[in-house]
Structure 1
Amino acid sequence: MTMTTEISMTEPLEHSRRDFLRVGSLACITTAAAVAGFPQTTLAQSLSNIGVSVSVDQAARWLRFSTFAPLDSEILDVATRGYASWLETQMLLPQSRTVSDWVRLQGPPGFEDPNQLIAFTERVRAIDWKCVYAADQFRQRVTYALSNIFVVSTLSISAYICASFWDTLNKHAFGNFRELIEAITYSVDMGIYLTYMNNSKGDAASGRQPDENYARELMQLFTIGLWELNEDGSRKIDSKGHPIPTYSQADVTQMARVFTGLYANGTTYWGEKVRFGFTNFSAFSSELWASPMQADDSRHSPESVRALDGRVDIPAGTSCSQAIRKALDALFQHPSCPPFIALNLIRRLTCSNPSPAYVTRVSRAFVNNGQGVRGDMKAVLRAIFLDPDLLTPGTPRFGMLTPRYVYTMGAARRLGCFSNPLTQRVMSQYDHTLIGSQRPFTAPTVFNFNRPDFTTPELRALELVGPELENCDEYGASQVFTGLGHLCSNATLTPNLSLRLISADNDAALLDELSRRLSGKVLPDGDRSSLLSILRGIGRTQVTYQRQVLAAMLWTILIHPQNMVLS
């Protein structure tokens, strides 16, 4: 892996420069709005309320939550026109090149290489590229969070497997939650992973029952959770002081009937029409992977379905598509859905232990976007990222350990990281394995890389959870530290850096500059002094030694606890 590092200090934001950028950015967002069909009067009205003054440090901190890592230009942009305006611009940007197209064309825009054999690793590289280089950075960050809620994990049976699933999450990240769960339900990737593709109706003679996997996980992990919730995310309690389950095994059995009769819609790569029961997934064409599953009503359970205390009430003989629509509508309208999704998104994006008030505000945005629409993801994301708990540094118990893939891609984004600089391949599969990056679609179970309620004895005493800490045992931590060391040791020594590293007199200023660039903070005095003392003992006469100094600076910054924690 080669890493290029260009160092530049952010210049002071002169008043004239602010004005120029504000006018330019408003012109850009207005153009984007016109393309998207957004009402100009509504946009102008909303932007008239965006005049918040944001410092460079505040902008850098906020962008660490809303991107994989902030670039200098983005920090300047947010500092110029405020959080909300940047957020609106990002949500109006068109979806960048799909992962499926990236795989098919063997590269990102301008670096296509269609003469290569299409390999599974291209999907890995495509997602990496989008997270590092794509203009719609906020969409990619939200998509990664969604991929940790709607979990699909798979083997390398096809270069296109999970490519279209990332594209689906990408497409619906700023849409409506109801449309999102429908797209996920009909996804070929989800159908294979949770074993309901080719799921047939029950048969009394053979004793066959419909597969219950998706019915269970749809309720438990994707929509309403195990326990009925108040709007602040806390569990509802019955008269005996016990939490109230949202569903029972009987509900799972009933709901399993809904998800029968679905199969892959398309052809194999040799042109054969795929029919119900076809399981040679490696033969699926690229178009098939991207197409929603279709229903064979002759394989769909004809019985009536009654579940969730009558919330789901589907008459006998209802078609597969109509049964799915009714079931998803009921889950979408369930009172536990808004707080469950609010809590999950907050924990994946900003805070492991959100305050009840924070969850309440996001839940209410899910229920009503201000115009009577339920499930508007844009409204939910505005509520998450413009909440006072996030915007106020020092909010008690606020923050999270940065998810490992976010941190890895963030380092690549800030430093410019390539496995091949000529084709903008970001990292190889080997690099991901070495660093234990928890890249998308490699979770060990449907519960993802870690449990949302994981805690330690110390955190339990404070009634806190730390999901990402589940992987930070001795092995996990050493894997990350070693992998980051490998990344930093391959940093490209630019002429500018080489000149500055010739003398140890420049180390303090360079270390602070790098630290601000990578994390928005300067290392604590004690750690900073210790590192500078060690670096003084390294000779600078050879390029090799200069590389060692640079790598030591970068590695120390990246592995420092204050920088691995979003707060």
Structure 2
Amino acid sequence: MFPTPDLKANPALSRSRRGFLRQSAAACASTAALVAGFPQTALAQALAGATALPVDSAARWLRFTTFAPLDSEILDVATRGYGAWLETQMLLPQSRSVADWVRLKGPPGFEDPNQSPHHDTRIQAIDWKCVYAADPLRQRVTYALSNLFVISEAGTDRAVVPEAYSAFWDLLNRNAFGNFRTLIEDVTYSLDMGFYLTYLNSRKADAATGRQPDENYARELMQLFTIGLWELNEDGSRKLDGSGQPIPTYQQTDIVQLARVFTGLYPNGNLRNGGRATRFGDASPGAFTAETWGRRMAIDASQHAPEAVRALGGRVNIAAGTSGANAIRATLDALFQHPTCPPFVALNLIRRLTCSNPSPGYVSRVSRAFVNNGSGVRGDMKAVLRAIFLDPDLLTPGTPNFGMLVPRYVYTMGAVRRLGSFDSLGTQRPINPWLHKTLGSQRPFTAPTVFNFNKPDYATPELKALGLVGAELENYDEDGATTVFNGLGQLTRNATLTPYLSAKLASSANDAELLDELSRRLSGRVLPSGERNALLGAIRGYPRTQTGWQRNVLSAMLWTILIHPQNMVLS
């Protein structure tokens, strides 16, 4: 159904495609379209007449469900519909894990046994998955989850350990279409999370020294991962008491009680270089084997708090002497069954995927999908995602207050994906770590705090006056916007200059047609007439006889489109 590029002309791309084929035949539809060149006008013309949905509608919807849509994906959705594409994506097997990338020292088809893995390998692997993997929906959801279940390299000695954080991305990736209850359990036992929230090697209380269990994870598990600060109605609004005041979900005494539950956890594996088995108290990240990072932490019964635990008004009621595993299970069950968990998860996932200010009805519909997937199952992530991405509020352009500023990493990887950009064709590196920093791209696991890159209730004065929030705007002051614009300019220099584009760029007579074509492919619509005419006037007399000059004109077109508000905002 989809045309493929001539791979004989470029052996490196040929090796890459063979690698993708080994992963999944479905990958070829997407990745071949990317590498074949941008844009895919022949493909668009061939299938546009047979679509069930308008191509522009399909492109708009895919901007929410992927980092950025390829033409093959746009036409697949236009032909088969939103739901069919969503179900196909949810059935695809996971693409190669980040841990495997680090272990095998390279992407599919580009493994290099001579290189030494380092933290850049991990960064490259996650970028590659978000741009080229066969399961773009899974990667987009995983990034959203990484902004809710936050761990960070910032200020730690784990940043230079290639296996650190790799396992956590894979954990989120694995659970993206699973069950939320399994997800929070896997997060709880994650060595990465144990390090970040400091409950790794947390000991039971000692009356003689005054030592108490570490409270970090007990607090953030409630506040950030499951139920939040305030009890919520199904539609995400706060429940009020008899005095009209919001009702807290927990108190400090609950944190103290639950801190006992998460004691005794330690790394589960071996030390490097044939060393001994890990044990309670081991805490040197560089000493652990790669396999240890991917294993659930173990529990040392002698270090687990033996006291009874009663919290959350009796929702958690654990008898003295209960094993660590059973205490953790009971606590997670109670939080999962808490009535505030569904709207809390629904509201936060919506805000990370589709809309900063969802309507009460939207939140309610997603909350109900969390409570019951239609077969009596609670926490089914597939049902939740169907509700998020197939909701009438999203499918109806013009829904009041609908939309969001595209998160920086999504925007950056989306630009790379649509432009066919490579920083290194030989290694398939989409973007180098320096440019990530230049862009302020907010790549995974670099947030400054456990609250992520932005405060969820951040609002400019204008938004606050309207009762709205815009978390992503917190970093878009004059300096932040300039950083992004300059970085995107560099990305456009790496865009694939195909024979089609070169032929079009040879004459300024084609500029208007090409600019509109590029604009539709990148943002779903042409530029407003003022900006469009100004750009066409500026490049009209630019020479075109050399490849470098053509690239400059292409870069000017792409950069203008990328930084325009209609492309930087999902609506």
TM-score, normalized by length of structure 1? 0.92
Aligned position for 2:105: 106
**What is aligned with 1:158?**
161
Give matches, 1:158-557, under 5 Å. 158-271=161-274, 272-557=276-561
Q: 1:455 touches 1:465 (CA, 8 Å); kept in 2?
A: yes
Q: C-alpha displacement at 1:538, in angstroms?
A: 2.1
Offset at residue 179 of structure 1 (A): 0.4
Question: Does the 8 Å CA contact 1:107/1:423 hold for their aligned counterparts?
Answer: yes
8 Å CA contact 2:48–2:75 kept in 1: the answer is: no
Match of 1:127 in 2: 126
SS at match of 1:277: coil
**Aligned ranges 1:35-74 → 2 under 5 Å:** 53-74=52-73
Question: Cα distance, 1:336 vs. partner?
Answer: 0.3
Partners of 1:200 and 1:261 within 8 A in 2 = yes
Q: CA deviation at 1:537?
A: 3.5
Q: What letter is aligned with 1:199? A: S
- Matched-pair contact (CA < 8 Å) for 1:255–1:307: yes
Contact 2:419 2:492 in 1 (8 A): no
Task: Kindly indicate whether the alpha-carbon contact (under 8 Å) linking 2:44 and 2:75 is maintained by their aligned counterparts in 1.
Answer: no
Q: What secondary structure sits across from 1:418 in the alignment?
A: coil
Q: 1:14 to 1:510 in 2, by over 3 A?
A: closer
AA aligned to 2:90 is M
* 2:78 corresponding residue in structure 1: 79
CA offsets, 1:96-116, max 9 Å, x none? 110000111111111111210
- Taking the aligned partners of 1:413 and 1:121, their CA distance within structure 2 comes to 20
Q: Take 1:344 and 1:78, find their aligned partners in 2: how far apart are those partners? A: 26
Q: Distance in 2 between matches of 1:283 and 1:17?
A: 58
TM-superposed CA distance for 1:279, in Å, is 1.2
Deviation string 1:86-145 (CA, Å, 9 cap, x unpaired) is 100000001111000011111111111121011111010000111011111100000000
Moved more, 108-117 or 314-323: 108-117
SS in 1 for 2:317: strand
Query: Whole-Å Cα distance in 2 between the matches of residues 180 and 236 of structure 1?
Result: 27
Instruction: Provide runs of 4+ in structure 1 moved above 6 Å.
Output: none
Q: Which secondary structure does the structure 2 equivalent of 1:444 belong to?
A: coil
Q: 2-side partners of 1:120 and 1:551: how far apart?
A: 31
- CA contact under 8 A between 1:196 and 1:213: conserved in structure 2? yes
Residue 11 (structure 1) aligned to one of 13, 36, 44: 44
Residue 117 in structure 1 maps to residue 116 in structure 2: yes
The answer (yes or no) to whether the contact 1:157–1:281 under 8 Å persists in 2 is no
CA contact (8 A) 1:203 1:209 kept: yes
Q: Please give the alpha-carbon distance, in whole angstroms, between the structure 1 residues aligned to 2:550 and 2:74.
A: 29
Which range is displaced more, 352-361 or 529-538?
529-538
CA drift of 1:299 comes to 0.2
Give the Cα–Cα distance (whole angstroms) in 2 for the partners of residues 275 and 72 of structure 1: 52
Shift of 1:539: 2.8
The match for 2:136 is: 137
CA shift at 1:15, angstroms?
A: 9.1
Aligned residues: 531
Q: Retained in 2: the 8 A contact 1:104–1:114?
A: no
1:254-284: CA deviation from partner (whole Å, max 9, x where unpaired): 0100000000000011232111001111111
**Secondary structure, counterpart of 1:215 in structure 2:** helix
- Deviation of residue 546 (structure 1)? 2.1
Structure 1 portions without partners, runs of 5+: 19-52
SS in 2 for 1:110: coil
Change (3 A) 1:17 1:492: closer
The answer as to whether partners of 1:300 and 1:320 remain within 8 angstroms in 2 is: yes
RMSD: 1.4
User: Which moved further from structure 2: 414-423 or 231-240?
Assistant: 414-423
SS in 1 for 2:310: strand
The amino acid across from 1:188 in the alignment is: L
User: Residue 144 of structure 2 contacts residue 349 of structure 2 at CA under 8 Å; is this kept in 1?
Assistant: yes
Letter in structure 2 aligned against 1:147: S
Q: CA deviation at 1:503?
A: 1.7
Cα deviations by residue, 1:51-99 (Å, 9 ceiling, x for unpaired) = xx32111100000000001011111110111000110000000111100
In structure 1, give the amino acid aligned to 2:38: E
CA distance in 1, matches of 2:79, 2:501: 29
Provide, for residues 173-230 of structure 1, a one-character-per-residue CA deviation record: whole Å limited to 9, x for no partner.
1111000000000000000000000000010100001000000000000000000000
C-alpha separation in 2, matches of 1:223 and 1:451:
17
- Give the Å deviation of 1:423: 2.3
The one-letter amino acid of 1:491's match is A
Check conservation: 1:459, 1:465, Cα contact below 8 A: yes
SS at match of 1:441: coil
Q: Supply the AA of the counterpart residue of 2:529.
A: D
Deviations 1:25-51 (A, max 9, x none): xxxxxxxxxxxxxxxxxxxxxxxxxxx
CA displacement at 1:473 relative to structure 2:
1.1
Gapped regions of structure 2 (runs ≥ 5):
1-33
* Alpha-carbon shift at residue 11 of structure 1 (Å): 3.0
The farther-off stretch of 396-405 and 535-544 is: 535-544
Name the % identity. Answer: 69
Q: State the Cα deviation string for residues 224-247 of structure 1 (Å, max 9, x = none).
A: 000000000000011111110000
Go from structure 1 to structure 2 and tell me whether the alpha carbon gap of 1:490 and 1:109 turns closer, same or farther (over 3 Å shift).
closer
Aligned to 1:94: 93
Q: Provide the rounded CA distance (Å) in 2 between the counterparts of 1:14 and 1:385.
A: 24
Deviates more, 1:310-319 or 1:540-549: 540-549
Alpha-carbon distance, 1:492 to partner: 4.4
After TM superposition, give the deviation of residue 547 of structure 1 in Å.
Answer: 2.0
Q: Is the Cα contact below 8 Å between 2:47 and 2:75 reproduced in 1?
A: no
Contact kept in structure 2, 1:131 and 1:140, CA below 8 Å: yes
- 1:500-520 superposed Cα distances (whole Å, 9 cap, x missing partner): 222211110110111111111
- Which deviates more from structure 2 when the two are superposed, residues 112-121 or residues 440-449? 112-121
CA contact (8 A) 1:295 1:320 kept: yes
Distance 1:544 1:118 in 2: 35
